[in-house]
Amino acid sequence: MDSDKAKDFLRQIVADDLAAGKMPAPVTRFPPEPNGYLHIGHAKSICLNFGIAEDFAGACHMRFDDTNPHAEDQEYVDSILADVRWLGFQWQGPVRYASDYFDRLYTAAERLIELDLAYVCDLDAETMRAYRGTLTEAGRESPGRQRSRADNLALFRRMRAGEFADGTYTLRARIDMGAANINLRDPVLYRIRHVAHHQTGARWCIYPSYDFTHPLSDAFEGITHSLCTLEFEDHRPLYDWLLAALQVAQPPRQYEFARLNLTYTLTSKRKLRHLVEGGFVAGWDDPRMPTLAGIRRRGIPAAALRQFCQRIGVTRADSLVDVSMLDFCVREHLEQSAPRTMAVLRPLRVRIHNLPAAVDIDAPLHPQHPEWGQRRLRLSADLWIDRDDFSAHPPKGWKRLVPGGEVRLRHAFILRCDHVDYDDQGQACLVHASVDLATLGAHPEGRKVKGVIHWVDAVEARPARVRLYDRLFRSAAPEAGGEDFTEHLNPHSLQEVDAMIEPYLLQLQSEQAVQFEREGYFVADRHLWQTQAPVFNRIIALRDSWGKEET
């Protein structure tokens, strides 16, 4: 096992348990609720649960917490499975669902009633909240607490038979309405919900709560280490109470770790859904979204995301991670893995008047990986350069093309601007130029050309739509102070341009990231690839332009 991984406290717990002979190997689980798309916070949990199983030759189960059919959908199930696979992990055995255990959970609920540890409550939701008490005041007992075991069992069976409307009754654990931990004040175990389930159809009209389902599903599967984020710490006493009440022989243990909080990012499913349903983004997989589907479509490599999760570590202390750390991991990975290409995002035509014939040029796919080979570039008399690389009135320190000035064409000749045609608005529309034919791959003595610009051949270039993505929020803390987080949306988070690209880019495999030299890292949109005019998404710029935090 990697020494850095061994340092986190959860892996140390597992190592100690194995050394003590408590189990032959760890069994973990990843238990998402299929009520939305996974986000970057889930990536940390995925890497942790699957990573521990891998590190200690154990197993990780994929189990959906599908106990709330009102909010769940098969679309979310499919997306979650795809995200876990994309991130590079494979679960042990079949995909599991909490609904697989509905019969066993129901039997366990009846057993609690028989033990006088559960009862049917007829308080409505609002009254139940009022009876629950506060952090400083004890709760009040429900009248249903006085029912006999036989009456509770009969009522619960009638609940299952569908005799009552939603909200009429609930099944609650009988624990302690005066407990300091409010989660132990007779929590709800079952609710009536007359709604079809995406796995079980109309078979059930009562559904178990997460707090009831979680520990028992872990026990049914032989989970050894149930890893949760810190918000479940106060639920652990209930987790342990249920396992003890039902006399589980080898009960699993719950451990908590700090969730991932990232600057400039939201990780609330409810708020992410608001962005989607409010039309602020183009769907759950919009490349600006922090969902794993959006991250993948943006082009961030799974390996870079796994590296990020490893570097931020696993602790019990809540903290805010700067998104620049994720950006660093992405750039570090792409620097080594992305082939180099050229694309002109804001085309300006150049006509070379002294080039006798088109020239073929071999350019490396990566300067540090000669084994990757080369790509062929064609340079003819007409080419495209980026409009931002020309200025008729350059600022101080300008190193690109000016009237009468010279630049080096990347991988090619030194080019001189002889004169320029302008349109009716005073914008340059055609640069007339000449090249020094002796400078292909050569640096003439006594002549220093400071600027190097990229280009594409106008004859061979292909059109493409390029989406320039940036951070979705202009504030590092869009939720701070309880403000409307949509007020902090970055109006420049997406800009689209019609670009010209070198033909090599049409040979790319799906989801292959590339560097557009001098522009950044890009990927062909996985849903719009190999169309008549392909669409490229900017993964990340070559360097961070967010020098100062906006608030």
Please tell me which residue in 5, 33, 253, 479 is annotated as part of the active site.
Answer: 33
* Three-state secondary-structure class, residue 241: helix
**Do β-strands 359-364 and 374-379 pair in parallel, antiparallel, or remain unpaired?**
antiparallel
Please tell me which residue in 132, 269, 306, 471 is annotated as part of the active site.
Answer: 269
Q: Is 269 a catalytic residue?
A: yes
- Cα–Cα distance between 154 and 147 in angstroms, integer? 11
**Do β-strands 452-453 and 406-409 pair in parallel, antiparallel, or remain unpaired?**
parallel
- Cα–Cα distance between 459 and 466 in angstroms, integer? 20
- For residue 537, the cross-strand partners are 467, 523
Q: Is the sign of the CA dihedral 495, 498, 500, 505 positive or negative?
A: positive
Q: Is 471 a catalytic residue?
A: no
Cα–Cα distances (Å) from 427 to 213, 384, 390, 402, in that order, read 67, 16, 11, 14
- Contacts of residue 270, defined as CB under 8 A and 6 or more positions apart, other chains included, come to none
- How many CA atoms are closer than 13 Å to the CA of 214, on its beta-carbon side? 21
- Determine contact, residues 332/82, Cβ cutoff 8 Å: no
- Cα–Cα distance between 219 and 253 in angstroms, integer? 10
- Cα–Cα distance between 95 and 81 in angstroms, integer? 9
Please tell me which residue in 259, 346, 351, 465 is annotated as part of the active site.
Answer: 259
Exposure string for 176-204, b = 16+ CB within 10 A, e = fewer:
ebebeeebbbbbbbbbbbeeebbbeeeeb
Q: Catalogue the active-site residues.
A: 33, 259, 269
